[in-house]
Amino acid sequence: MTHSHHGHHHVHTNNKKALLLALLLIFTLVLAEVIGALVTNSLALLADATHMLSDFFAIGLALLAFKIGERGSSRSKTFGYKRFEILAALTNGVLLIGISIFVIGQAIQRFFAPPDVAGAGVLLVAGIALMINLLIAWILMRGGDVKENLNLRGAFLHVLGDILSTIGVLIAALLILLFNWTLADPIVSMMVSLIILTTGFRITKDSVHVLMEGKPPLISLQHVETQLKALQHVKSVHDLHLWSITSDFPSLSCHLVVEDGINRDQLLKNATQMLKEDFHISHTAIQIESESYLCTTGC
């Protein structure tokens, strides 16, 4: 248990460090893109800088969520503030959806009135922005738990959106620079926005699923029930509930109907050990009851 807690704390610390470094790089990039947009009179770069600014706030919120999540439990909040991470992830998802809808609206307007873009200047600034964004993505993947932690994944998806957006600006700048094709800007913006919209819906859906106490997607409820029933002396399982406190904190509660006269402490130990080893569920609440008890409550 101590080793598991130490490992979780180590990953949690790495997540915070990765987010803090990403936050500093994004702030630098926002300043560079705003200056570049003013110098080149580029609306595309200014829009990308606005996107980056939203990511600055989103990742800042994710970092704040990890910090608040460290606060201990209390009598009013018995699980502490761990779910603040999910609320932050939900906010990030909604923000992605809002940004993508806004950019789609702007792209539609540009189909009718394509703006002038200083291609060479935009190409230079967007190239630098792409390299910094790739560095930020690498930092989050290398230093953080992007796969398992929903909050960090939300921040990572923001950065992926930045990378796609910057690539779109680069492509648009090249087409305008080489062929003077001004419609490239709204077309690329529309394509990038649809991708961002999809990721925004996905992270929002995952967050709502956790808040609605849905089953962790990587754990089969049927498999858990089968394994519990397979334990020696267990007759049946009922009131089985499986949910997540936060993205990497699955919890389980259930009632085990058992044979009379057995060693209940040993059975409870076997059940909790099996759930931890086979399904990585460390937080469990298991009620053991005999068939005779079940009959007295409505057999």
- Cα(63)–Cα(81) distance, integer angstroms: 14
The pLDDT mean for the chain works out to 81
- Cα(173)–Cα(162) distance, integer angstroms: 16
Q: Which residue has the higher pLDDT, 84 or 279?
A: 279
Architecture of the CATH domain 13-211: Up-down Bundle (1.20)
Q: Which of 71, 30, 26 is nearest to 49 (CA)?
A: 30
Please say whether the beta carbons of 122 and 32 come within 8 A. Answer: no
3, pLDDT greater than 60: no
Distance of CA 199 to the CA centre of its chain: 10
H/E segment holding residue 295? helix 291-296
pLDDT of residue 149: 65
pLDDT of residue 11: 47
Give whole-number Cα distances, 75 to 70, 79, 82, 206, in Å: 16, 9, 15, 28
Q: Give the range among 34-43, 57-66, 164-173, 279-288 with minimum mean pLDDT.
A: 57-66
137, pLDDT greater than 80: yes
Please say whether the beta carbons of 225 and 256 come within 8 A. Answer: no
Q: Show me where the domains of the chain are located.
A: 13-211, 221-290
Average pLDDT over residues 85-93: 83
* CATH for the stretch 221-290: 3.30.70.1350
Equal fold, 13-211 vs 221-290: no
pLDDT of residue 4: 43
Q: Kindly state the tokens that stand for 107.
A: 């792209």
